[in-house]
Amino acid sequence: MLSELLLTEMARLSQQDNMPLHRQLYEAMRRAILDGKLAAGDRLPSSRELTQDLKLSRNTVVAALNQLAVEGYLLSRVGSGTYINENLPRSQARARNSHIPTHLPRLSRRGTALSTTFCANQLEIQPFTPGIADFSAFPVALWQRLQNKHWRMTYPEMLDYSYSGGHAPLRRAVADYLRVFRSVPLEVDQVIITSGTQQSLELCAQLLADHGDTVWLEDPAYWGAVKAFMATGLHTHAIAVDEHGIAPTPADENHAPRLIYTTPSHQYPTGAVMSLPRRQQLLTIAGRHDAWILEDDYDSEFRFSGPPLSSLAGLDQDQRVLYLGSFSKVLYPGLKLGYLVVPKRLVAAFKQAHYDLNRPGQMPLQAALAEFIELGHFASALRRARHSYAQRRECLLQALQPCLGQHAHISGAEQGLHLCLRLPNQLDDKALALRIGNLGLTVRALSAYCVHRNDARGLVIGYGYAPLAAIERYGPVLARAIQSELALLD
């Protein structure tokens, strides 16, 4: 009876929208709950029973159930199964009791694609979640003092939108940092403060490419960039990454790029460092097609071994590289401040459009950050973070040692806050990541970042968020789960 109901709804959803199966099942169950067809307190069949009744893979069923549990529709009671939550959040209970329609809102095709592909799991912050720094170390009291000081000193202009590309002292501080540490040759005027890399990417896509133009991306890719380009209506052409970074072939040049998005100093997520010949090749290709390169330098502050790398922007003779940086990793992501360095010939257009499209502001916050940098607090936060992440990275590498060998190796551990454990192609990395998720640890499957290719398997494992003690404790748990999967291949 339940399975018939779910299958009918899933069939309807699959005709209406091109949703993946786990999303169809999730949506069908969610509606059954909201419509009262599954009553509060009801016990659900086990995932094994649902797998059999619905003739779906277990991964599909588990992914749908996990999502419903994360959103509070289901509750697990140890030893007795899974139940429909009796205390659904108020807005959802209301939808259920009244006759407000619960069918999917009519989204645009783009809206549907944006809300159903490359979605970050809501249960993100657990030991080993990639891409997250440890913001518990942020000096909150000091930050509060600086903010209070700037709010006290604030004069009316500071409360207005900012039309100059951001607070001048912050732009100066960023320019000084980039000149010294990233060899980016620049003048202060080229720095534009944004609300982070996501906004910088949108601005680049909006100003430098037209709807339907092609952007080259790395495959596997950073989800945030894929979404920024989807949202701006660009055609994405994904190019496989090898151990030297994005590796375009002559055939790729048939899809002439207007933009090339890349993470050369630590490819996200494989960790590949782009070699010098590859950097030169990319600059030559960009020149040939009169394309712009968007260099996302998201975690270069954390380099643990190997010589310091200079940026791609530092090699650019032609002024066609735009350099994107963020304070999300060194300070905290909710700060929502980053920077974009644009070639001189783009400065006026970018400032104007940034003002018109985004109405930037937050000047007292920018002033506090500028002072935080000028007084040396940024440098000491960075020093402390580097030291602490180096220990965590070492500890994780130690824990993963028993997994390494014929079937598994590590890439990208020289820099950043994550590494990538590369696994053989016959291994289902998404199922392994789910199994590890059931242990209360979050790692991401490398294949989940792939746009087209089907030959990259592995686990993307973060060491930034988890304290050293958690890595010491859970590293061996993670390693055992991986080892038992690898043992099946022998």
Cβ–Cβ < 8 Å for 245, 262: yes
Rule CB under 6 A: is residue 442 a binding residue for ligand PLP?
no
CB nearer to ligand PLP: give 368 or 486.
368
Q: How far is the CB of 338 from ligand PLP (least distance, A)?
A: 4
Q: What track of x and - describes contact with ligand PLP for positions 80 through 109 (by CB under 6 A)? A: ------------------------------
Q: Are strands 245-246 and 235-242 parallel, antiparallel or unpaired?
A: antiparallel
CB nearer to ligand PLP: give 13 or 174.
174
CB nearer to ligand PLP: give 248 or 464.
464
Stretch that binds ligand PLP, among 88-96, 190-198, 232-240, 444-452 (CB under 6 A): 190-198
Q: Which of residues 121-160 bind ligand PLP (CB under 6 A)?
A: 131
Q: How far is the CB of 143 from ligand PLP (least distance, A)?
A: 18
Q: How far is the CB of 106 from ligand PLP (least distance, A)?
A: 29
Stretch that binds ligand PLP, among 17-25, 196-204, 242-250, 315-323 (CB under 6 A): 196-204
Which of 143, 222, 302, 463 touches ligand PLP (CB under 6 A)?
222
Rule CB under 6 A: is residue 268 a binding residue for ligand PLP?
yes
- For residue 338 the two structure tokens come to 């980053």
Angle subtended by helix axes 47-54 and 2-16, to nearest 10: 60
Q: How far is the CB of 294 from ligand PLP (least distance, A)?
A: 10
Which of 24, 190, 263, 311 touches ligand PLP (CB under 6 A)?
263
Q: How far is the CB of 483 from ligand PLP (least distance, A)?
A: 28
Q: Which residue is nearest to ligand PLP (CB)?
A: 196
Rule CB under 6 A: is residue 372 a binding residue for ligand PLP?
no
Which of these, 268, 333, 257, 335, lies nearest to 296 by C-alpha position?
A: 268
Rule CB under 6 A: is residue 220 a binding residue for ligand PLP?
no
- For residue 377 the two structure tokens come to 């607090």
Stretch that binds ligand PLP, among 108-116, 195-203, 300-308, 395-403 (CB under 6 A): 195-203
Count the Cβ atoms, other than its own, within 10 Å of residue 448: 15
Q: What track of x and - describes contact with ligand PLP for positions 301 through 340 (by CB under 6 A)? A: -------------------------x-x----x----x--
Rule CB under 6 A: is residue 465 a binding residue for ligand PLP?
no
Neighbouring-strand partners of residue 420: 411, 460
The amino acid that residue 331 corresponds to is L
Rule CB under 6 A: is residue 118 a binding residue for ligand PLP?
no
Q: Count residues near ligand PLP (CB under 6 A).
A: 14
CB nearer to ligand PLP: give 333 or 402.
333
Q: How far is the CB of 327 from ligand PLP (least distance, A)?
A: 7
Q: Can you tell me the distance from the alpha carbon of 431 to that of 484, in angstroms, rounded to the nearest whole number?
A: 13
CB nearer to ligand PLP: give 66 or 265.
265
Non-local (6+) Cβ contacts of 78 within 8 A are: none
CB nearer to ligand PLP: give 340 or 479.
340
Neighbouring-strand partners of residue 445: 459
Q: How far is the CB of 39 from ligand PLP (least distance, A)?
A: 40
Q: How far is the CB of 199 from ligand PLP (least distance, A)?
A: 7
CB nearer to ligand PLP: give 296 or 316.
296
The structure tokens 């993670």 sit at: 478
* Maximum separation of any 2 CA atoms in the chain, in Å: 70
Q: How far is the CB of 103 from ligand PLP (least distance, A)?
A: 33
Which of 197, 265, 442, 447 touches ligand PLP (CB under 6 A)?
197
CB nearer to ligand PLP: give 338 or 364.
338
Q: How far is the CB of 169 from ligand PLP (least distance, A)?
A: 20
Rule CB under 6 A: is residue 364 a binding residue for ligand PLP?
no
* Residues near ligand PLP (CB under 6 A): 131, 196-198, 222, 224, 263, 268, 296, 298, 326, 328, 333, 338
